[in-house]
Structure 1
Amino acid sequence: MDDRLLHALQVAKEWEQGNATVGAAMKASLGAHAAAREAADPVVTAAARSIGHAVATAHMADHSMGAPLYALKALKMAGRPLDEERAWQYEQLQQLPADIAELVSGTMKQKEKSFKI
């Protein structure tokens, strides 16, 4: 795996624990997206974009939609079933207040079309 992706995952974990700056998250996101652009395999590209969006959530909440959507796209492109990942994502949403979970779920369903999922 590209070191930039591993670094972005580490920064995302540090952000979640309150130990990373917004600047570090932005820089890690840019590195992950650079890795996505350089990847020859479309599955790797989608996975790298998922990582880039996950860490970018630190500076812009809307990026939170990209992480799960690109994860689904990577699975689809790899010929893997999406049901288990979708179920896990839905389970995570249930930890949020109901109105927010409904908003996020609805938005993700709308955006799936543009992601060709």
Structure 2
Amino acid sequence: MPTETDKNGNGNGNEIELSEGELREIAGYAADCARRVLTLFEQSLPADPRPREAIAAADAFAGGGRRTAALRQSAWAAYKAAQEADATATPAADAARAASHAAAAGYLHPRASAHQVKHILGAAAHAARAEELASGEDRQVTAGTLDRARRHAPPAVTAVLARLPAAPSGGGRVGELIRVLDAALRA
């Protein structure tokens, strides 16, 4: 584990151990978090399958499928859907970002970098933000969503987080939610 970080919270280049089994558990967890808010996207943009396809790709990888270019492409496609949804409905955009993070979780890097925490917890944080926005900024809804994400985190999530520095600063409200969840999972 590095003892120094740069201004962005990145480690000094040390690598951590990261097994394929851990990647699969993390991807499955991220898919579960994103799935909870998929309807928020589909209510706004019912004809756009990209977030659903990204979650399905994450599920396939988590279930033993290969880590292919299609998995990465589905993450980018869901990200593009989020960018397009920004113009129409913010909860939908965060729901699509959660799906994007789910598909991207299979590509977590074995670096001792605080930035990697965002890859592990990004789906959960974006899902919490989507629910928060859909509820009219009800912070109790957000707290409940984060508590559920904490309680349902598989062992690989906490094991890998323990090898990384704490979540970095910044990132607006989603960054704040990542830090809250990160601290709760490390407690």
Q: TM-score, normalised by structure 1?
A: 0.79
Distance change in 2, residues 1:90/1:31 (3 Å): same
Question: Highest relative contact order (Cα 8 Å, sep 6+), 1 or 2?
Answer: 2
Distance change in 2, residues 1:29/1:115 (3 Å): same
Q: Is the 8 A contact 2:94 2:129 kept in 1?
A: yes
Q: Is the 8 A contact 1:22 1:58 kept in 2?
A: no
The whole-number CA distance in structure 2 between the counterparts of 1:74 and 1:58 is: 22
Instruction: Look up the equivalent residue of 1:69 and give its one-letter code.
Output: A
Q: Is the 8 A contact 2:54 2:103 kept in 1?
A: yes
Root-mean-square deviation over aligned CA pairs: 2.6
Distance change in 2, residues 1:114/1:7 (3 Å): same
Write out per-residue CA displacement over residues 35-90 of structure 1, whole angstroms, 9 at most, x where no aligned residue.
Answer: 10111101100110011011101112532221111111111111251232111111
Q: 1:44 aligns with which of 82, 92, 99?
A: 92
- Where do 5+ consecutive residues of structure 2 fail to align? 1-41, 43-47, 110-115, 178-187
Segments of 4+ moved more than 6 angstroms: none
Instruction: Look up the equivalent residue of 2:124 and give its one-letter code.
Output: P
Match of 1:60 in 2: 108
Instruction: Look up the equivalent residue of 2:94 and give its one-letter code.
Output: A
Match of 1:89 in 2: 149
- Where do 5+ consecutive residues of structure 1 fail to align? none
Match of 1:115 in 2: 172
Task: Count residues in correspondence.
Answer: 114
**Largest Rg, 1 or 2:** 2
% same residue: 20
Once the two structures are overlaid, the 10-residue window that deviates more, 79-88 or 41-50, is 79-88
Distance change in 2, residues 1:6/1:87 (3 Å): same
Distance change in 2, residues 1:103/1:76 (3 Å): farther
The whole-number CA distance in structure 1 between the counterparts of 2:147 and 2:90 is: 24
* SS of aligned partner of 1:88: helix
Q: TM-score, normalised by structure 2?
A: 0.52
The whole-number CA distance in structure 2 between the counterparts of 1:27 and 1:78 is: 28
Q: Is the 8 A contact 2:75 2:101 kept in 1?
A: yes
* Greater helix fraction, Structure 1 or Structure 2: 1
The whole-number CA distance in structure 2 between the counterparts of 1:95 and 1:12 is: 18
